[in-house]
Chain A
Amino acid sequence: GAVVSQHPSWVICKSGTSVKIECRSLDFQATTMFWYRQFPKQSLMLMATSNEGSKATYEQGVEKDKFLINHASLTLSTLTVTSAHPEDSSFYICSARVGVGTEAFFGQGTRLTVV
């Protein structure tokens, strides 16, 4: 299947700093990527849908200014957690679809710990 690479796999940052997470589709072009957040033993919560060349569509309750999403190319989307706080600590996962009507492939996730 198609490969989605997420980087970094884990990151520890100080409260108040910003962290950028990258999501790359390695062997296909992804016009749409999705960003999820997952708390321990819970399901994945969709945060936003990222479309190449346009603004991301955020789910209700997700702070746009807090979680900045950029989809600058067909193979790269980034999630920046700005002014991170301990409550932002979570597992963040991206996914991408090869095209319309196809399955979604997921990155390996990024464990963010804010201290």
Chain B
Amino acid sequence: QQQVKQSPQSLIVQKGGISIINCAYENTAFDYFPWYQQFPGKGPALLIAIRPDVSEKKEGRFTISFNKSAKQFSLHIMDSQPGDSATYFCHGGTSYGKLTFGQGTILTVHP
């Protein structure tokens, strides 16, 4: 059962533009929503995470927007840079259990 659906599968953005990746989840028990960034041949690294008691969290150029009623959350990358080119995974889970990855979005930022 796919509990976290991520879109788009791939995204191409010009340098300086805004990258937006969306995720939808099904399990209402989820209370932890991180985003991970993965470069080729490396393990995922935590980028930013949010809990459902807030609707938005910003860290530098990265912002998570969370819509609890719609069971959706999104990652916004402002002023996208070529170094942001990577695969991004959303993740849904509970504080105590396993985490379910989205399908991943391959982001390419053109200079």
Contacts and interface: CB of A to CB of B under 8 A. Distances in A.
A101 B96 contact: yes
Interface residues of B, number: 21
Chain A: interface size category: 20 to 34
Contacts, number: 54
Interface stretch (B66-74, B78-86, B98-106): B98-106
Interface stretch (B11-19, B40-48, B57-65): B40-48
Given A43-B101, A101-B95, A108-B43, 20 more contacts: A4-B43, A36-B101, A41-B106, A42-B103, A42-B104, A43-B89, A43-B102, A45-B101, A46-B101, A93-B43, A93-B44, A100-B95, A100-B96, A103-B32, A103-B49, A106-B36, A106-B43, A106-B44, A109-B41, A109-B43
Interface string A38-51: 00011111100100
B95 A46 contact: no
B34 interface: yes
Interface of A: 1, 4, 6, 34, 36, 41-46, 49, 91, 93, 95, 100-109, 111
